[in-house]
Amino acid sequence: MDLMLRLVYLLLLPGFCISLPFFLHGRPKGGFLGLPVGSANRSPPPEKWFTQKLDHFTSSDHRTWSQRFFINDEHYKPGGPVFLMIGGEGAANPEWMVQGQWVQNYAPQFNALCVMLEHRFYGKSHPTKDLKVESLRYLSSEQALADLAAFRVNISESRGLADAKWIAFGGSYPGALSAWFRYKYPHLVYASVSSSAPMLAQLNFKGPKKVAGLEKYFRLCEPIDASDAKDVSNLHDTIAQSIAGVIQYNRDNRAFEGAVGTNITIETICSIMTTKGSKPFESYAKVNSLLLDTYKEKCLDVSYNKTVQELREESWKSEASEGGRQWTYQTCTEFGFYQTSDLTTQPFGQHFPLKFSTEQCADVYGTEFTQTSIQSAVDWTNSEYGGYNITVTRVVFVNGDIDPWHALGITRDLNAHSPAILIKGTAHCANMYPDAPNDLPQLIRARESVKKLLTLWLS
């Protein structure tokens, strides 16, 4: 029996905390693209609403709903392009309308009108009255792309922008959407900047992870039953995802929802882990405590049943409606992306294999979700959008080599008109955030490279 499993028996310390982990299937609370850290010289614009179709692919279905969006015309001059920031698996944060490279550095140079559309089923954009499975069938990347198309046509017509070139921006899942928007609707979007985009759907994402140990110091909310295989798997998965989150956002100039500080880096973790005289599990426990304190959590809840029960909540008022239920559904119906312990060279043992995640789909959404059905959905996604072999022009793919998600991204030029930029030493969506004093030279150069491409494409 390995050290990690033996120490399961020692985990104690009850307390109070929420039942959903801060990181769920790679997604932090608030979504993959968080609040930018910086200061803007103006307040964000007010929210607006657009009447959107519920089902774009059933002509007899005339139901509609209200989708939230934002517009910033501060830099716009007649004849300028329209910059579209695509919302993702979290609320569209209006701070992005006044912060970030796209609006602070790019829009002024190109006299661009900046708009941001919130993704259906996230934030305040509620297409249905609840989050039941029959409602969630209207949640898909395909419907989201059709939302973008309808929105783009409406804004162009209502604002007299028929001749304006539209440039799509997005990071992480919206980064993939930005490339797919160009692929599926090339007549509507002229170019795209796709940042940290997982272009290949993959059921079993056996990417590298860091290990976190076990012991009673891990501040569990209640004692764990070591004979419950799913609780043990959930414990290992929860700790691993939190550590992976540090790597995923290493030195990114972003804020995390509910976090006290955002300066925890790989160096911070390594410094704790290599402290002389400290036993490995004690070092792991210190890392875990640091992360709990950062997110203002009193304890670590690793009950699998509690996680499932929370994800089963179908009300828009539930904790899971922040995005956990919706994003997990999308992993079960489109993407996979399950970060497992199946890679033989990783240090977790085999405590959260692929079946842990696929069985969670069945436990939350129904027994019709099986590993076979999820694999079929992943295959369909890659067939629909092309995966690594997407055929597009005027799309730039930007990734950081520290970001675990770059393994599913495009890191080599697709063609002469769709280059890839891989930034050494940077993490998830780093190129999108506002300038910071500690920005690496190669990050600064990458941002300038994007600007040069925009100049070329818009000239």
Structure tokens at 7: 């120490």
- Per this entry, what is the length of the chain? 459
**Helices 141-158 and 173-184: angle between axes, nearest 10 degrees:** 70
Integer CA distances (angstroms), 424 to 33, 173, 411, 412, in order:
20, 21, 12, 14
428 is catalytic: yes
DSSP 30: T
Taking Cα atoms as reference points, which of 172, 170, 168 lies closest to residue 199?
172
CA distance 322 to 90: 7
Burial 310-333 (b: 16+ CB within 10 A, else e): bbebbeeebebbbbbbbbbbbbbb
Indicate which residue of 19, 125, 140, 172 is catalytic.
Answer: 172
Instruction: Report the distance separating Cα 152 and Cα 55, nearest Å.
Output: 17
Please confirm, yes or no, whether 119 is among the known catalytic residues.
no
Residue among 75, 351, 406, 428 flagged as catalytic: 428
Question: d(Cα 95, Cα 30) in Å, to the nearest integer?
Answer: 13
**What is residue 418's DSSP assignment?**
B
- Whether residue 403 lies in the annotated active site: yes
For residue 32, the one-letter residue type is F
Choose among 246, 180, 236: nearest CA to 404.
Answer: 246
DSSP result, 350-382? TSS-HHHHHHHHHHHH-TT--HHHHHHHHHHHH
Q: Which of 403, 406, 418, 439 is catalytic?
A: 403
Point out the residues that are catalytic: 172, 403, 428
